[in-house]
């Protein structure tokens, strides 16, 4: 693992928001499909999901990273709500 100093520097640079959103969706779908533990890390998919959501909230509140969200039309949003 990296020393905490390097992790702090990495964190302060921020991430692309889309990366955090994709990771959140991935872990949510894995959990929803019946897989509790992420085989790569050995941690709960829900733990990963919670962490990613909190990262995303912090990015929004502190204006970190790059907001590269895909803006959907009203029709696309309505279709997604039906899923």
pLDDT over 60 (residue 25): yes
Q: 72, 73, 74: which is closest to 21 by C-alpha?
A: 72
Which whole number is the average pLDDT over 14-37? 96
CB atoms within 10 A of CB 10: 11
Q: Which residues on adjacent β-strands are paired with residue 69?
A: none
Residues 37 and 43: beta-carbon distance below 8 Å: yes
Please state whether the predicted TM-score (pTM) of the whole model is above 0.95.
no
pLDDT over 60 (residue 1): no
| Per-residue pLDDT, 6 | 56
pLDDT over 50 (residue 44): yes
CB atoms within 10 A of CB 56: 20
pLDDT over 50 (residue 42): yes
What is the CA 49 to chain-centroid distance, rounded? 7
């Amino acid at each position: 693992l990296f020393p905490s100093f390097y992790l702090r520097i990495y964190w302060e640079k921020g991430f692309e928001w889309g990366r955090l959103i994709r990771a959140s969706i991935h872990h949510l779908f894995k959990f929803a499909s019946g897989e509790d533990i992420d085989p790569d890390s050995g941690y709960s998919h829900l733990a990963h999901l919670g962490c990613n959501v909190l990262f995303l909230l912090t990015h929004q509140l502190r204006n970190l990273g790059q907001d590269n969200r895909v803006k959907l039309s009203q029709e696309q949003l309505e279709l997604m709500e039906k899923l």
